[in-house]
Amino acid sequence: MIHGRFQPFHNGHLAYLRAAAARAEITFVGITNPDRRRTTPEADDPVRHLPEANPLTYTERLLVISAVAEEEAIPVHVIPFPITEPDLWVDYVPSGVTHFLRVLSPWGRSKLERLRAGGDRVEVLEAPEGKAVSGERVRAAIRAGGEWRAMVPPAVARFVDGLPAGHALAPRRSP
């Protein structure tokens, strides 16, 4: 299982998915912050709960991740994963799953500790490229009408292109 907010799913996430899928027959993709009403602040990632950092709904993320996985021919099950509520994990995460994690920030270290404290198996995946792209950078480029397509898989670009005007992540349109 991998997990993240995927706001939106970008090429760094794709590398993460590919690395995990290479180690498993079926990969679960856990979408964190699945319910906007239950999104809470985290000291190690102080903006992850803000509305501007979470423009896509759970369903929008499920659809785009499923489209990316289909293009990549990677079998996945996309599920909600309330990372900030460990007492709910048993209701969402399959028993015996291995969590694959890339530790690229203080928040990544916090997640690692949280998962291990919950008794789950965790395998840290190397990320030699570091954090080459971030959701924050992709969102900013989309909103500013800048270059963002090279940072996301083609299915994500098509999805963003199809967002209606006024959507929280819709690109600026020329008049």
Instruction: Give residue-wise pLDDT tens across range 136-152.
Output: 999 999 999 999 999 99
Neighbour count for residue 18 (Cβ, 10 Å): 14
Handedness of CA 4, 37, 49, 140 (dihedral sign): positive
Residue 174's pLDDT is 57
Domains, the chain, in order of start with CATH, read: 2-132 (3.40.50.620)
Asked if the peptide bond before residue 8 counts as cis, ω within 30 degrees of 0, the response is: yes
Task: Answer whether 62's CB lies under 8 Å from 56's CB.
Answer: no
Instruction: Give residue-wise pLDDT tens across range 110-145.
Output: 999 999 998 889 999 988 777 889 999 999 999 999
Helix (H, G, I), strand (E, B), or coil: what is residue 101?
strand
41 band by pLDDT with thresholds 50, 70 and 90: confident
**Which of 14-18, 31-35, 46-50, 113-117 is least confident?**
46-50
Neighbour count for residue 12 (Cβ, 10 Å): 23
